[in-house]
Amino acid sequence: MKSKTAFNKCNFCKSSLTHEVTDLGMQPLCQDRIKPEDLNKMEPHFPLKVYICENCYLTQVPESASPEQIYRDYGYYSSFSDTWLNHAKRYVNHAMKQFKITSNSLVTEIASNDGYLLQYFVEKGIPVLGVEPSEGVADYAINEKNIRTEKKFFGVNTAKELVEKYGKSDLIIGNNVLAHVPDINDFVEGMKIFLKDEGVITMEFPHLMRLVAENQFDTIYHEHFSYLAFTVVQKIFSKHDLELFDVEELTTHGGSIRIYAHHKNDTKRSIQQSVFDLMETEHKAGMNNLQYYDSFNEKVKETKRNILAFLIQAKNEGKHIAGYGAPGKGNTLLNYCGIRSDFLDYTVDRSPHKQDTFLPGSHIPVYHPEMLKSTKPDYVFILPWNLKKEIISHHKYVFDWGGKFVVPIPRLTVIDHAYAEKNHYCVEEIG
């Protein structure tokens, strides 16, 4: 839908942004944690509107909150998901073999969080460097996992400093960071500066095609400045003389892709067929056509109505509903739908950094998962739905008292014990 005015410029090509994809209203910063003593304080909210650039087709949320505001007290610690740790471990084994990483290599992760991935390189005796702007998670990586970490935002200036201090990197990793940067050109140019002549970049990010096809509107929040199609990312990297030579489709975060890049003048590797195949898939889907995105807004509204209809009926029947998780995506969903403790009695989370706080906006209390056993809710509403198998397998005792799990995306699904067994949700190991 076309808006009448354009106050914002495209993050990549700087064209005016006028084509609105969806409007999720005024939202708090999704990773904020509200302490009990701050419940009565003013809580800043920012507009959460998604636009698509009519020139380059980059889908994006214009910057309304600064990176400094978003990451000043970042509450997400990657190490509290077994599924994600298993994914990281598999990646390290794959990268060691494919890129011939040795004790003479330098492996760098941008947005290294709490050291969840680099710890597996360290176990193999590989020199590593983390770059992480959030002080709390960076300190955890340094003090608890002995991961060498620079507490900085990454871009051209930081890249130049790192080259002076450490030399260039053989492998640069970025998992779920490319979408998080307000100046994508500065970020990609920084990687070009920091990458060795025959080095490799791998980046993972949620695939925009999956977001649209599966109505994953809750993955939209202020720290995600961009929503990425492979074809658009290829344009961005090419502008900075980096070439995408391979791509993989992944199941993580509801459907992601992992791209492989090197310097354009590096002739060591040829472009794989996977690159051409995914470009063709996106083209056939119509991702370079504005009409592809115009139906998304109505699907978002329909999902909101369905979620609220279920919750209203359940509460009218006297059911007790608890949440599971305190993820960024959950906070987008709760605030857009207007769900507070009138619907969810509380939520639980494995991370001690989130326990005994309140969710931003909704002010739903967050407890240790043991609270589920104490209160025996009728329904457990899974907010990080991308981890539903891990969560159900770890908490299948909910079925013992007749409880059920609820997964809201891509469509609301109630999971009882029979459904979970049939779909192998009750296995001990996930990943």
259 with 344, same domain: the answer is: no
Residue 320 belongs to a domain: yes
Per-residue model confidence (pLDDT) at position 353: 84
152 with 115, same domain: the answer is: yes
Which residues constitute the domain of residue 361? 305-422
Tell me the average pLDDT across 194-202: 97
Write phi, then psi, for 27 (nearest 5 degrees). -130, 150
Q: Which of 42-51, 156-165, 249-258, 325-334 has the highest mean predicted lDDT (pLDDT)?
A: 156-165
Longest dimension (CA), the chain: 66
Q: Tokens for 85?
A: 């740790």
Does residue 4 carry a pLDDT above 50? Answer: no
- 346: pLDDT confidence band, cut at 50, 70 and 90? very high
107 with 208, same domain: the answer is: yes
Does residue 70 carry a pLDDT above 90? Answer: no
Q: Count Cα atoms within 13 angstroms, Cβ side, for 284.
A: 6
Does residue 85 contact residue 350 with C-beta atoms inside 8 Å?
no
Tell me the average pLDDT across 158-185: 96
CA 203 to CA 416: how far, in whole Å?
37
Choose one of 244, 279, 314: the last residue of a domain: 279
Rg (CA), the chain: 22
In the chain, the amino acid numbered 269 is: R
Query: Cα dihedral sign for 416, 417, 422, 423?
Result: positive
Choose one of 279, 297, 321: the last residue of a domain: 279
- 71: pLDDT confidence band, cut at 50, 70 and 90? low
Say which range, 25-34, 316-325, 343-352, has the weakest mean pLDDT.
25-34
263 with 124, same domain: the answer is: yes
Residue 57 belongs to a domain: no
Peptide bond into 410 cis (omega under 30): yes
Tell me the average pLDDT across 301-307: 95
330 with 409, same domain: the answer is: yes
The pLDDT tens digits for 244-257 are 999 999 988 788 99
- 430: pLDDT confidence band, cut at 50, 70 and 90? very low
Residue 113 belongs to a domain: yes
pLDDT above 90: percentage of residues in the chain: 79
The pLDDT tens digits for 127-138 are 999 999 988 889
> Model-level pTM?
0.87
Mean pLDDT over all residues of the chain? 92
- Look up tokens 């910057």; give the residue: 63
309 with 243, same domain: the answer is: no
Number of structural domains (the chain) is: 2
Task: List the CATH number of the domain containing 188.
Answer: 3.40.50.150
252 with 337, same domain: the answer is: no
245 with 314, same domain: the answer is: no
Residue 182 belongs to a domain: yes
Does residue 202 contact residue 260 with C-beta atoms inside 8 Å?
yes
Residue 108 belongs to a domain: yes
Please indicate whether residue 70 or residue 379 has the higher confidence score (pLDDT).
379
Residue 371 belongs to a domain: yes
Per-residue model confidence (pLDDT) at position 321: 98
The pLDDT tens digits for 82-115 are 888 899 999 999 999 999 999 999 999 999 998 9
- 78: pLDDT confidence band, cut at 50, 70 and 90? low
Contacts of 194 (CB under 8 A, 6+ apart): 108, 159, 162, 163, 168, 169, 172
Per-residue model confidence (pLDDT) at position 76: 59
241 with 322, same domain: the answer is: no
269 with 357, same domain: the answer is: no
Per-residue model confidence (pLDDT) at position 201: 98
Say how many C-beta atoms besides its own lie within 10 A of residue 3's C-beta. Answer: 13
Write phi, then psi, for 407 (nearest 5 degrees). -115, 120
Residue 296, CA distances (Å) to 219, 278, 282 in order: 13, 21, 16
249 with 329, same domain: the answer is: no
In the chain, the amino acid numbered 135 is: E
Task: List the CATH number of the domain containing 320.
Answer: 3.40.50.720
Does residue 51 contact residue 19 with C-beta atoms inside 8 Å?
yes
Residue 2 belongs to a domain: no
CA 142 to CA 266: how far, in whole Å?
34
Burial 219-228, CB ≥16 within 10 A → b, else e: bbbbbbbbbb
264 with 357, same domain: the answer is: no
Choose one of 239, 261, 279: the last residue of a domain: 279
- 69: pLDDT confidence band, cut at 50, 70 and 90? low
Query: What is the 3-class SS of the chain, one letter each residue?
Result: CECCCCCCECCCCCCECCEEEEEEEEECCCCCCECHHHCCCCCCCEEEEEEECCCCCCEECCCCCCHHHHHCCCCCCHHHCHHHHHHHHHHHHHHHHHCCCCCCCCEEEECCCCCCCHHHHHHCCCCEEEECCCHHHHHHHHHHHCCCEECCCCCHHHHHHHHHHHCCEEEEEEECCHHHCCCHHHHHHHHHHHEEEEEEEEEEEEEHHHHHHCCCHHHCCCCCCEEECHHHHHHHHHHCCEEEEEEEEECHHHCEEEEEEEECCCCCCCCCHHHHHHHHHHHHHCCCCCHHHHCHHHHHHHHHHHHHHHHHHHHHCCCCEEEECCCHHHHHHHHHHCCCCCCCCCEECCCCCCCCCECCCCCCEEECCHHHHHHCCCEEEECCHHHHHHHHHHCHHHHHHCCEEEECCCCCEEECHHHHHHCCCCCCCCC
The pLDDT tens digits for 366-421 are 999 999 999 999 999 999 998 999 899 999 999 999 999 999 999 999 999 998 88
Residue 234 belongs to a domain: yes
